[in-house]
Amino acid sequence: MVDDLEESVISFLNKDGDNIYIGIDNNSNIVGLKNNIDFLQRKVKDLIISNIEPSVLGLFDIEVLEKNNKKYLKITIAKEYEMPTCPATISGIHVTNTNNIILDKRIGLSCPWFWLDEPQLEVIGNIQNMNYDEIVNKILEYRVSKISDVENMEKHVELYPFGGCGGNAKQLLRTYLDVSRIRGM
């Protein structure tokens, strides 16, 4: 096992993150791991979770990698803590208590409460009068009309009052743009 594993993890968490390898020597040669690799992976995870306070769950990842028939572990330590963003912000559908389907008027997010100021709502229809495909098409149509606004906000995110649902606003906008590109919007 790596000497002072927990101290290394804490150090990387307090800096810019990094990777720790188990099964690679100090000269970057893969020596491999001979033991039950799944057991070792669980043991390393348990050591990190059990011996570091406050909890670092979600701030590291452990992968089993293999090269030249030699298995080794890669522990990726997060560069910084990022509060997760509600997945409904991009992929969900918000319906009001009057059955209206709403989007954020500024950029078409499914959750207008991502902003720290008063929500600006765009009603795109009533759920009782639309089928699923109509709802999805209306959402996508509205978002296409807002892509240039999203691109501008992503470049100048510090000018906008983000944060109502938590999370990294710049990352949210990048994800929004990536999803839009994948869908060909």
pLDDT in tens, 48-100: 888 887 777 778 889 999 999 999 999 988 865 555 566 667 777 888 889 99
Lowest mean pLDDT among 15-19, 56-60, 76-80, 155-159: 155-159
The string of pLDDT tens digits covering residues 125-151 is 999 999 989 998 898 889 889 888 888
Q: Which residues pair with 100 in a beta bridge?
A: 126
CA nearest 85: which of 159, 182, 163, 180? 163
Tell me, yes or no, if the pTM score tops 0.85: no
Q: How is residue 29 written in tokens?
A: 């040669």
